[in-house]
Structure 1
Amino acid sequence: MDAFYYLVFGGLAAVVAAMELSKTSRDRVATSSPFNAFKNNYLLVYSLMMAGDWLQGPYVYYLYSQYGFDKGDIGRLFIAGFGSSMLFGTIVGSLADKRGRKRACVTYCITYILSCITKHSPEYKVLMVGRILGGISTSLLFSAFESWLVAEHNKRGFDPQWLSVTFAKAIFLGNGLIAIVSGLFANLLADNLGFGPVAPFDAAACCLAIGMAIILSSWSENYGDPSDSKDLITQFKGAAAAIASDEKIALLGAIQSLFEGSMYTFVFLWTPALSPNDEDIPHGFIFATFMVSSMLGSSIASRLMARGTLKVESYMQIVFAISAFTLLLPIISNFLVAPSTAKGGSISFGSCIQLLGFCVFEACVGIFWPSIMKMRSQYIPEEARSTIMNFFRIPLNIFVCIVLYNVNAFPITIMFGMCSIFLFMASVLQRRLMVVAESHKSKPQDWTGLKERDDEAESLNI
Structure 2
Amino acid sequence: MEHFYIIVFVMLLAFCGGLELLKKGPQGSGALEMGKGPQEKMATIFLAFRNNYLVVYSLMMAGDWLQGPYVYALYSHYGYSKGDIGKLFIAGFGSSMIFGTIVGSLADKYGRKKCALTYVVTYILSCVTKHSPDYWILMLGRFFGGIATSLLFSAFESWLVAEHFKRGFEAQWLSNTFSKAVFLGNGLMAILCGLLANFLVDNLHLGPVAPFDASATVLLIGGIVIHTTWSENFGDNSGNVPLSVQFSKAATAIASDPKIALLGAMQSLFEGSMYTFVFLWTPALSPRGEDIPHGFIFATMMLACMCGSSIAARLMNKSGPPAEKYMQYVFVLSAFALLIPVWFSVQDIPVVEGIHVGGITFDGQVQLFGFLVFEACVGIFWPSIMSMRSKYIPEESRSTIMNFFRIPLNLFVCIVLYNVSMFSLASMFAMCSSFLLVAAACQWKLYSIAVAADLISSGSKEDDTA
TM bracket (short chain):
0.7 to 0.9
8 Å CA contact retained: 1:96, 1:104: yes
How many angstroms does 1:90 deviate by? Answer: 0.7
Are the structure 2 counterparts of residues 174 and 21 from structure 1 closer, same or farther at C-alpha, using a change threshold of 3 Å? closer
Counterparts of 1:149-228 in structure 2, within 5 Å, are: 149=160, 156=168, 158=170, 165-190=176-201, 192-193=203-204, 195-219=206-230, 226-227=237-238
How many angstroms does 1:266 deviate by? Answer: 1.7
Q: Equivalent residue for 2:446?
A: 433
How many angstroms does 1:79 deviate by? Answer: 1.5
Are the structure 2 counterparts of residues 351 and 177 from structure 1 closer, same or farther at C-alpha, using a change threshold of 3 Å? same
Q: Equivalent residue for 1:249?
A: 260
Aligned residues: 430
8 Å CA contact retained: 2:198, 2:294: no
Are the structure 2 counterparts of residues 168 and 228 from structure 1 closer, same or farther at C-alpha, using a change threshold of 3 Å? closer
8 Å CA contact retained: 2:100, 2:150: yes
The alignment partner of 1:227 has SS state of: coil
Bigger drift between 79-88 and 416-425 goes to: 416-425
Q: Equivalent residue for 1:95?
A: 106
Q: Equivalent residue for 2:463?
A: none
8 Å CA contact retained: 1:301, 1:367: yes
**Greater relative contact order, per chain length (Cα 8 Å cut-off, separation 6+):** 1
1-side partners of 2:286 and 2:74: how far apart?
A: 22
- TM-score norm. by structure 2 comes to 0.77
Bigger drift between 142-151 and 200-209 goes to: 142-151
Counterparts of 1:292-311 in structure 2, within 5 Å, are: 292-307=303-318, 310-311=321-322
Q: Please, which of 118, 129, 145 is the counterpart of residue 134 of structure 1?
A: 145
Q: Equivalent residue for 1:405?
A: 418
Are the structure 2 counterparts of residues 391 and 436 from structure 1 closer, same or farther at C-alpha, using a change threshold of 3 Å? same
Q: Residue 255 of structure 1 aligns to which amino acid in structure 2?
A: M
Are the structure 2 counterparts of residues 438 and 42 from structure 1 closer, same or farther at C-alpha, using a change threshold of 3 Å? farther
2-side partners of 1:61 and 1:225: how far apart?
A: 41
Where structure 2 has 5 or more consecutive residues not aligned to the other structure, the ranges are: 33-42, 347-354, 458-466
8 Å CA contact retained: 1:113, 1:208: yes
How many angstroms does 1:260 deviate by? Answer: 0.9
- TM-score norm. by structure 1 comes to 0.77
Are the structure 2 counterparts of residues 418 and 376 from structure 1 closer, same or farther at C-alpha, using a change threshold of 3 Å? same
How many angstroms does 1:52 deviate by? Answer: 0.7
2-side partners of 1:169 and 1:47: how far apart?
A: 10
Q: Please, which of 418, 424, 442 is the counterpart of residue 437 of structure 2?
A: 424
Q: Please, which of 406, 409, 433 is the counterpart of residue 393 of structure 1?
A: 406
2:373 is equivalent to residue 360 of structure 1: yes
- Identity among equivalent positions (%) equals 64
Are the structure 2 counterparts of residues 71 and 327 from structure 1 closer, same or farther at C-alpha, using a change threshold of 3 Å? closer
Counterparts of 1:280-359 in structure 2, within 5 Å, are: 280-307=291-318, 310-333=321-344, 347-359=360-372
The alignment partner of 1:408 has SS state of: helix
Are the structure 2 counterparts of residues 394 and 102 from structure 1 closer, same or farther at C-alpha, using a change threshold of 3 Å? same
2:385 is equivalent to residue 375 of structure 1: no
Q: Equivalent residue for 1:104?
A: 115
2-side partners of 1:64 and 1:177: how far apart?
A: 27
8 Å CA contact retained: 2:254, 2:260: yes
Bigger drift between 57-66 and 420-429 goes to: 57-66
2:107 is equivalent to residue 118 of structure 1: no
Bigger drift between 298-307 and 133-142 goes to: 298-307
8 Å CA contact retained: 1:261, 1:400: yes
How many angstroms does 1:397 deviate by? Answer: 1.3
Q: Residue 406 of structure 2 aligns to which amino acid in structure 1?
A: R
8 Å CA contact retained: 1:150, 1:377: no
Are the structure 2 counterparts of residues 249 and 41 from structure 1 closer, same or farther at C-alpha, using a change threshold of 3 Å? farther
2-side partners of 1:312 and 1:229: how far apart?
A: 36
Q: Residue 119 of structure 2 aligns to which amino acid in structure 1?
A: Y
